[in-house]
């Protein structure tokens, strides 16, 4: 039994991957301590490859895509005639490209299928052109059968996983070299065992021999093994006839896992997310100062992406796939549980915000119990450019509490578009004030003549709740009050002149101009201009100015944070014509 103490997040990702592969629950987990049978580690190659095929099967993925597109394509056909040409053309292209891409890879590694594949691709194209649905279904069925043949699916899936998943962390290892893609499934398992498992098992068994002072078994291990440590020991003890453990006593300790030997340099070529180039992960740029890790730590780092969740995120102006991981301090099982929910929610909703909420909403904290620290790690590597983007931040418990515990006061689903919602969540996670983000979205809405501003209101409520520590307020929030005040002014200027009259006052067109003036004053923090404009609006509408507006110019009474809330909420309410109309109709009915 090997005891592995998990502390740092890179090894926590690997530990989560191990636990995901442990279907029989043979690994004992106590807080952040894993107890792993050596026999389990010896079977890791088969476990790993089986997990990769079952989880990332390219055959299953292409089957799902082909069947979904075929169903949509069929819905565009009535009486053997295409009624919805755009839908038919779009899904035809998907079917052709998906089938051809998959079948071309079959021919690349299994040339015996070349003639059948060539005919199959031609038949699919012909059936699509002739709108022969029955024939198309038959050809697609045969394509799926081919792609899901175990030998073919194993080969194609493994090559894709190596290139797109494991290569993002694995660094420079022979197993990931493209020249090894031609190897069979069993040959790749054997290669992985030789490169990763055999050296590790030798070290673990040698450690047991040292602990038990079993010189006889240790001598046998040394003589039978060709691993690096065994070879090095033989060089230093050429004339030895009995076992001497002194060489192993002098080995440095692993910097990542307590109790293991540090026999490998902890560098970028070993774990790519560690650094942005091949040298800057060393102390003072000196290789001699590089930390060392064990072969067990190396495996955890290699399989780290399997413990993560992959999703799209805006980086600069581009949307790219990143790896996300929720690391719960001192608890491997809770870490796995949260990341499993995180993954399941992403597979279902494709939204970071919903996945984050799902991973926390079922938590039950016992009163006075210490809440474990949760860290969100997001990373992406560019192997050819030797570049890594890494961001990690503590998950703000106040923010999570706000999302989970206030469904009546705050609804995340009412924040749209989705891109705005996702940006809002990411900024809140960074503990950044979302004022600028909300300001830009409000300006966009006014420019595009939007009539619905509930999204802005919800964003401001979220901002206000976070600033109040996530605590529920008995009365309406400042956002609610200012938004309602703006709506009442809007109603006065946009209401009908008389019952049954569709004519609206020309003042309605002036609201956008006034809102721009208010928005610029809010952005610049110009309270005087904002107050004067609001005062004129109230006088024009014959409405008394509220106490909160009256104290607007007093910076001691109204902080800059509160001024931003008041101003943006009022402007959003002032422009929310659609919501005012809905409420008016509800009252009449």
Q: What is the pLDDT of residue 346?
A: 83
Rounded alpha-carbon distances, angstroms, from residue 580 to 447, 498, 535, 573 = 19, 17, 21, 9
Q: Which ranges of the chain have pLDDT less than 70?
A: 171-172, 272, 274-289, 361-372, 383-386, 405-408, 470-475, 496-508, 578-589
- In this structure, are residues 213 and 207 in contact, taking their beta carbons and an 8 Å threshold? no
Residue 385 dihedral angles phi and psi, to the nearest 5°: -85, -5
List the chain domain ranges. 58-147, 445-588
Rounded alpha-carbon distances, angstroms, from residue 487 to 145, 451, 544, 579, 587 = 61, 12, 14, 8, 15
Instruction: Enumerate helices (H) and strands (E) in the chain, giving the number of each.
Output: 27, 11
User: How does DSSP assign 356-406, residue by residue?
Assistant: HHHHHTT--PPTTPPPPPEEEEEEEEETTTTEEEEEEEE--HHHHHHHHH-
Q: What is the pLDDT of residue 276?
A: 53
Rg of the chain over Cα atoms, rounded to whole angstroms, equals 31
Q: Tell me the pTM.
A: 0.81
């Amino acid at each position: 039994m090997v005891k592995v103490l998990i502390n740092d997040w890179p090894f926590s990702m690997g530990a989560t991957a191990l636990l995901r592969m442990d279907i029989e629950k043979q690994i004992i987990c106590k807080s952040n301590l894993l107890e792993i049978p050596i026999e389990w580690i010896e079977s890791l190659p088969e476990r790993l490859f089986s997990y990769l095929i079952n989880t990332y099967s390219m055959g299953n993925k292409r089957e799902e895509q082909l069947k979904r597109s075929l169903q949509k394509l069929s819905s565009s056909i009535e009486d053997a005639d295409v009624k919805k040409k755009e839908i038919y053309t779009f899904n035809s292209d998907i079917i052709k490209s998906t089938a051809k891409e998959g079948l071309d890879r079959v021919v690349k590694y299994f040339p015996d299928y070349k003639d059948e594949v060539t005919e199959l691709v031609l038949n699919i194209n012909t059936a699509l052109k002739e709108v022969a649905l029955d024939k198309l279904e038959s050809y697609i069925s045969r394509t799926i059968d081919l792609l899901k043949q175990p030998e073919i699916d194993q080969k194609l899936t493994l090559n894709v996983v190596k290139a797109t998943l494991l290569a993002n962390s694995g660094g420079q290892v022979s197993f990931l070299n493209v020249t090894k893609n031609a190897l069979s499934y069993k040959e790749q398992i054997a290669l992985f065992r030789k490169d990763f498992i055999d050296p590790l098992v030798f070290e673990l068994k040698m450690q047991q021999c040292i602990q038990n002072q079993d010189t006889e078994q240790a001598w046998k291990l040394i003589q039978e093994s060709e691993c690096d440590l065994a070879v090095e020991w033989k060089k230093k003890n050429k004339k030895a006839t009995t076992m001497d453990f002194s060489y192993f006593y002098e080995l440095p300790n692993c910097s990542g896992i307590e109790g293991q030997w540090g026999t490998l340099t902890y560098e970028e070529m070993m774990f790519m997310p560690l650094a942005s180039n091949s040298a800057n992960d060393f102390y003072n740029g000196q290789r001699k100062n590089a930390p060392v890790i064990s072969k067990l730590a190396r495996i955890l780092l290699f399989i780290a992406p399997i413990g993560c969740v992959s999703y799209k995120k805006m980086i600069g102006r581009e949307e790219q796939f990143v790896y996300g991981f929720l690391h719960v301090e001192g608890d491997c099982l809770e870490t796995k549980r949260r990341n499993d929910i995180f993954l399941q929610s992403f597979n279902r909703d494709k939204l970071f915000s919903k996945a984050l909420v799902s991973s926390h909403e079922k938590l039950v904290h016992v009163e006075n119990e210490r809440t474990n620290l949760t860290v969100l790690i997001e990373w992406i590597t560019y192997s050819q450019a030797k570049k890594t983007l890494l961001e990690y931040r503590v998950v703000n418990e106040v923010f999570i509490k706000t999302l989970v515990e206030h469904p009546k006061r705050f609804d995340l689903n009412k924040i749209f578009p989705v891109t705005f919602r996702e940006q809002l969540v990411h900024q809140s996670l960074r503990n950044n004030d979302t004022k600028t983000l909300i300001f830009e979205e409000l300006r966009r809405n006014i420019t595009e003549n939007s009539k619905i501003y509930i999204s802005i209101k919800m964003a401001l409520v979220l901002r206000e709740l976070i600033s109040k520590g996530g605590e529920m307020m008995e009365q309406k929030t400042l956002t609610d009050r200012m938004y309602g005040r703006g709506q009442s002014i809007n109603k006065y200027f946009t209401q009908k002149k008389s019952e049954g009259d569709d004519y609206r006052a020309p003042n309605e067109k002036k609201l956008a101009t006034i809102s721009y003036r208010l928005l610029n004053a809010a952005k610049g923090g110009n309270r005087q201009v904002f107050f004067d404009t609001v005062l004129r609006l109230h006088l024009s509408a014959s409405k008394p100015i509220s106490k909160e507006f009256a104290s607007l110019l007093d910076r001691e009474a109204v902080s800059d944070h509160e001024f931003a809330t008041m101003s943006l909420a009022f402007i959003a309410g002032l422009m929310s014509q659609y919501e005012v109309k809905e409420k008016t109709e509800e009252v009449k009915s």
